[in-house]
Structure 1
Amino acid sequence: MSSQPAGQQWDDIESRRGMGPAVPIAAYAFAVAMSGTTLPTPLYTLYQAQYGFSSLIVTVIFAAYAVGVIATLFLCGQLSDTIGRRPVLVAGLVLAAASALCFLFEGGLPALFAGRVLSGLSAGLFTGSATVAIVELAPERLRGRATLVATVANMGGLGVGPLLAGLLSEYAPAPLGLVFVVNLALVAVAIVGILRIPETVRVQHGAPMRPGRLRVPRSILPTFVPAALAGFAGFAMFGLFTAVTPTYIDEVEGIGNRAVQGAVVFSVFMASTLGQLTMTKVGVRRALPWGTVLLGVGMVLIFCSLLLPSLALLVLGGVISGSGQGLSFRAAVTAVGRRSPPDQRAEVTSALFVACYVGISIPVVGIGALGVATGLRTAGLVFTVCVALLAAATAAWLVRNPAGDEERRPPSD
């Protein structure tokens, strides 16, 4: 069983025309799916006002998403290697639509939790499978560029979600409804597009469909471990911005404009995208440690912004942290993709995302619990110190144990 281009004729056509239509279609679907996961970010203050729950509940709702992601990656991380990329991507989009419907017709906390879990299940199916599908749909000579397309679609989608929700909820009618109607329309277009792209996996009919466990071949652990450490640290920072930053901007900075709140979160994800663009020139070996160094510097600035407080410093720290995360994240995905055996590529990529989403979930619940006891500002100060120290330790570890730039893929264990 192996991952291959859909056919020689398609590959010849794509080689002459560059990426061809399949890669942009898959990237669009990836961006739409990921944007749906961050749509509620600037809306949490509205939900808090409507239902009267604390910042701890906000972080628990957020963590419900991460739990859905991690569970799906564990149970289904290798599924697209078995049944094909397209069925998994379509299933992810259907779950994204179900999540949007939960938020559209929500009537309390149970619907919010259900919507976030469904969103997590969708992201869990998409993160590994879509990344690999985009790379496989590209001609061999453009595979490196396709990795960038995949990671930009991922981060770009995550950034567009809060920006879109912030603008629509602040300046358009039905602040808790219209954005999810728009999301449903975008998802419908994505489903049509995914149904039209070629399959890149030679499916073995009658292959077992039982859940499996994520396995990382022993031979690629020297590459996988530093990549996972960098991913954990970077996504912990994302957890801060997507879960509690809008509430912090509202309560501490006194800025209740949801478009501004969404734009701040958007700037962090766009900085991540720009960081990814620089990785090719920097190289995997240097991008991983230097990305975590930038992440640590950004967290120090965020610490100062909480101490003063200062929105300008918060944005600057977020942009620097985001650029560092993007630099190290693309390097991590590239290194792991290069070293993974072809028939385990989605499985290993999913394992990498498990490490990332553990980073985006557990620390955020901690900041919510600490915020109830000490206040959101104090909790943020503690959190930023912890992430800065983690980034510094990860950078030091990466300097001593670098992930190489080599293209060679070892055999599967």
Structure 2
Amino acid sequence: MPHTPPATALSRPNAWRGVAAAMFACGWGGNQFTPLLLMYRRLGGYSALSVDAFLGAYVVGLVPGLLLAGPLSDRRGRRPVLVAGTIASAVASLVLCFGGHGAWPIYAGRLITGFAVGVAMAVGTSWVKELSCGGDSGLPARRASLCQTAGFGLGAGVAGALAQWGPAPMVTPYVVHVLLTAAIPVLLLRVPETRPRLPLRGLLSALVDDLRVPAPARRRFRLVVLPMAPWVFGAAGLAYAVMPQLVGFRVGSWGLAYATGLTVLTLGMGVAVQPVAKRLRGGAPVVAMSVMLLGAALCAANAVVLSPWLAACAAAVLGAAYGVAVVSGLLEIQRMAGADDLAGLTGVYYTLAYAGFLLPAVLATLSAWLSYPVMLAAVAAAALVCLGLVVTGARVTAIPVVAEGAKAP
């Protein structure tokens, strides 16, 4: 039997805002590190490969947060899991605050940060959907994505500005995030719970079952969601991790401010275009991948030209692609999932999406043998192939509407 949210949740139409605040704070913590990559290279003496590996550690932490927290919250309740994730986000900033001069504390802090963001994405997105009332089926996905993206953007903007112009650049950004996050767990205690606590017996098998795509939707998942998802954060990685490192020498001492600007531009464009995704309905993945291809091509061209202005254009285009892709993917997943596996499938989607954030580390590793113009041309070619798959998949599959509780072996 499908689960119905309690009357207390439905009688408080603004209850979702507390969850949104947690998603915002965890997103802030997740992306505050990105514009600081150049700072760690200059002040910490880390190589390009090392700082890209810090990004990779974040993705490694995300995976258990995304794949375990969602199904766990389906069985044990949204509130305790998201409270734990929010506390973990603050702890991660404390680790980074006091361990900035050693590689291992940075790796540990980024792992914990990734876990916290994974919890916020999988659990928060589902909780916002369950707390949102009204006839607009796309509204919950847009709310969740906008809150998370706003946290990503503002966290990067404030951290970058503090690191460029503020005192103690390797400490102050993290202190701000700890203060921002401090009251969020208390706020979450007032948000209505939407999932009952189920017995622990059979929990492990239930967690695995919640990660399976319902049979009626599997073909569309393979042909549309799977080829598009890694490009969501692959676009972000190209825009504000790869481009600043390629053209940073062109802007001199303004490198940190420039990297911050690219991050804010990318995510700002992502926020601006997200309302478009709902109006595009089933065609949104095709539009997202078309714009993604254009952005990847601009990055490949700029690997030759090395222009800060062309990098900014590429970041804006990739930000637009990110915005449409992340919302259209969430809408696809919410149409596929029943109430009992919504958070689990949301976690699967975000895990695939964040796989793309490993792209900068992969490129940095391969740069010992291949030039960036060659590698980014290959990235653009891969985007073209994925666009072809998504176009074909959108044409031959219907938009899924899975019955509540439907799950095939």
TM-score by length of structure 1 reads 0.90
The total of aligned residue pairs comes to 400
**1:184 counterpart = 2:178:** yes
State how 1:74-85 maps to structure 2 within 5 Å. Answer: 74-85=67-78
Query: Is the Cα contact below 8 Å between 1:166 and 1:258 reproduced in 2?
Result: yes
For residue 340 of structure 1, what is the amino acid of its counterpart?
A: A
Aligned to 1:73: 66
Once the two structures are TM-superposed, the CA of residue 184 in structure 1 deviates from its matched residue by 0.5
Aligned to 2:157: 163
Aligned to 2:318: 321
Query: Is the Cα contact below 8 Å between 2:269 and 2:323 reproduced in 1?
Result: yes
**1:388 counterpart = 2:380:** yes
Out of 156, 166, 177, the residue aligned to residue 172 of structure 1 is: 166
Aligned to 1:150: 144
Q: Which moved more, 1:90-99 or 1:272-281?
A: 272-281
Provide the C-alpha distance between the structure 2 equivalents of 1:61 and 1:307, rounded to a whole number of angstroms: 26
Change (3 A) 1:140 1:408: farther
Q: Which moved more, 1:331-340 or 1:151-160?
A: 151-160
Out of 231, 237, 244, the residue aligned to residue 239 of structure 1 is: 237
Out of 287, 292, 298, the residue aligned to residue 295 of structure 2 is: 298
For residue 188 of structure 2, what is the amino acid of its counterpart?
A: I
Query: Is the Cα contact below 8 Å between 1:234 and 1:325 reproduced in 2?
Result: yes
**1:24 counterpart = 2:21:** no
Provide the C-alpha distance between the structure 1 equivalents of 2:253 and 2:291, rounded to a whole number of angstroms: 27
**1:289 counterpart = 2:286:** yes
Out of 25, 33, 36, the residue aligned to residue 40 of structure 1 is: 33
For residue 365 of structure 1, what is the amino acid of its counterpart?
A: A
Aligned to 1:359: 356
Aligned to 1:93: 86
Once the two structures are TM-superposed, the CA of residue 297 in structure 1 deviates from its matched residue by 0.5
Provide the C-alpha distance between the structure 1 equivalents of 2:252 and 2:8, rounded to a whole number of angstroms: 59
Once the two structures are TM-superposed, the CA of residue 100 in structure 1 deviates from its matched residue by 0.1
**1:4 counterpart = 2:23:** no
Change (3 A) 1:373 1:250: same
**1:400 counterpart = 2:392:** yes
Query: Is the Cα contact below 8 Å between 1:65 and 1:119 reproduced in 2?
Result: yes
What are the Cα deviations for residues 177-221 of structure 1, in whole angstroms up to 9, with x where unaligned?
A: 111111001111222221210111122144455484332223221
Out of 95, 105, 129, the residue aligned to residue 98 of structure 2 is: 105
Aligned to 1:368: 364
Change (3 A) 1:105 1:94: same
For residue 74 of structure 1, what is the amino acid of its counterpart?
A: L
Once the two structures are TM-superposed, the CA of residue 145 in structure 1 deviates from its matched residue by 1.0
Change (3 A) 1:145 1:306: same
Query: Is the Cα contact below 8 Å between 1:223 and 1:336 reproduced in 2?
Result: no
Provide the C-alpha distance between the structure 1 equivalents of 2:203 and 2:249, rounded to a whole number of angstroms: 49
Query: Is the Cα contact below 8 Å between 1:292 and 1:325 reproduced in 2?
Result: no
Query: Is the Cα contact below 8 Å between 1:160 and 1:266 reproduced in 2?
Result: yes
What are the Cα deviations for residues 233-285 of structure 1, in whole angstroms up to 9, with x where unaligned?
A: 232122233434433342355353423321111111111222211112222x1
Change (3 A) 1:26 1:208: same
**1:265 counterpart = 2:268:** no
For residue 66 of structure 2, what is the amino acid of its counterpart?
A: L
Change (3 A) 1:306 1:198: same
Q: Show structure 2 runs of 5+ residues with no match.
A: none
For residue 295 of structure 1, what is the amino acid of its counterpart?
A: M
